[in-house]
Amino acid sequence: MDDRKLQVLRAIVADYVSTQEPVGSKALVDRHDLGVSPATVRNDMAALEEEGYITQPHTSAGRIPTDKGYRLFVDRLGSVKPLSPAEQRAIVTFLSGAIDLDDILLRTVRLLAQVTQQVAIVQYPTLSHSTVRHVEVVSLTTSRALLILITSTGRIEQRALELPEHDEQTLAELRAHLNAATVGNSSTQAAARLQKLVDELPPSLSVIGQAGIAALLEMLGSESSTRVVVGGMPNLTRFGQEFETAVRPVLEALEEQVVLLRLLGEASTDGDVTVRIGQENPFKELQTTSLVASPYGSQADAFATLGIVGPTRMDYPSTMASVRAVARYVGRFLSEG
């Protein structure tokens, strides 16, 4: 595509996103300094329509971008522009003060929904990408204790243990053995060391220790990345007129964890920021929407993926910048822990 027709397409996308109305050639000439005559703009629009980048929704109406048009627009952005210092400070302020992983992800999903005015989705980080930070054993009664696992990503897991009668000194010894075997290790490494620890415990800790190790192995084996947090569902209802069908199928699809996990899972393989537009989405119910997603975590190894779902008529440059920035800040918060 030559630069002039691309410029016309960009103008059509910008106007349609801002006005929600089909765009005519006269409006393009009036609003944009295209440097060509109205007749040339009309010819370019006719060519764009013939090539499938724009379409006419109704007779005598202006043109709107197609999924193919949005895809070309996104692909030709070049790079994602960084947020302003004020926007960056707002993200840091919003996320600061989070007390644990659940709090961080809840704040993240609320932040994304507010910033983009779309439905926000955040996947829980995989335990395999974190290490054990601390194991605590707290006595509740003479026959019950609470086992607490804390990971480097801020994840906190708890299990109640039914134990034989014990005292604080016994629990302190158990705590020391469990921490020595797990702290600083990944879930896989910690599990392997715990299995060896079963045969190495002193007789005085045998029964209590086996109960604690069994519970800790169960906690290490649970995979929280099969969970997602969703926020901003009411945002989607504002765009009911955007969808070819009723908004209900879209909302129902977004309530299915399996659907969301597959969406984010496929997006996480494409690098920095992934955009899936309309028919590119694998689920029929979501083919009137777009997904903008980005992995979060360290550059070498992402923890998981977050993103937004909204109508195909969205401000892609701004949304992509917001999703990428939030992903980077969340990854930084979790890495620094």
Q: How far apart are CA 172 and CA 90, in angstroms?
A: 43
- Residue 288: the pLDDT is 87
* Cα dihedral across residues 23, 24, 25, 28: positive or negative: negative
Amino acid at 175: R
Residue 273 CA: distances (Å) to CA of 6, 267, 308:
22, 8, 11
Cβ atoms of 29 and 8 within 8 Å: the answer is no
Closest C-alpha to 228, from 263, 252, 278: 263
Q: How far apart are CA 74 and CA 272, in angstroms?
A: 14
**From first to last of its 337 residues, what are the pLDDT tens digits of the chain?**
688 899 999 999 999 999 888 998 888 888 888 888 888 999 999 999 999 999 988 877 789 999 999 999 999 987 788 888 888 888 888 888 887 788 889 999 999 999 999 999 998 876 666 788 899 999 888 888 899 998 877 677 888 988 887 888 888 999 999 999 999 888 888 889 999 998 888 888 888 888 889 988 888 876 555 678 899 988 887 765 665 556 777 878 888 877 887 777 777 655 688 999 999 988 888 888 999 999 887 644 557 889 999 999 999 999 999 999 999 888 887 776 5
- Model-level pTM greater than 0.85? no
H-type alpha helices, 117-167: none
3-state secondary structure of 327: helix
* Cα dihedral across residues 267, 270, 273, 275: positive or negative: negative
3-state secondary structure of 85: helix
- Residue 1: the pLDDT is 66
Q: How far apart are CA 153 and CA 147, in angstroms?
A: 18
Q: How far apart are CA 209 and CA 137, in angstroms?
A: 11
Residue 197: other Cβ atoms inside 10 A = 20
Tokens encoding 185: 């290790």
Domains along the chain with CATH numbers: 3-68 (1.10.10.10), 85-126+225-336 (3.30.450.40), 130-222 (3.30.390.10)
- Residue 308: the pLDDT is 94
Cβ atoms of 216 and 178 within 8 Å: the answer is yes
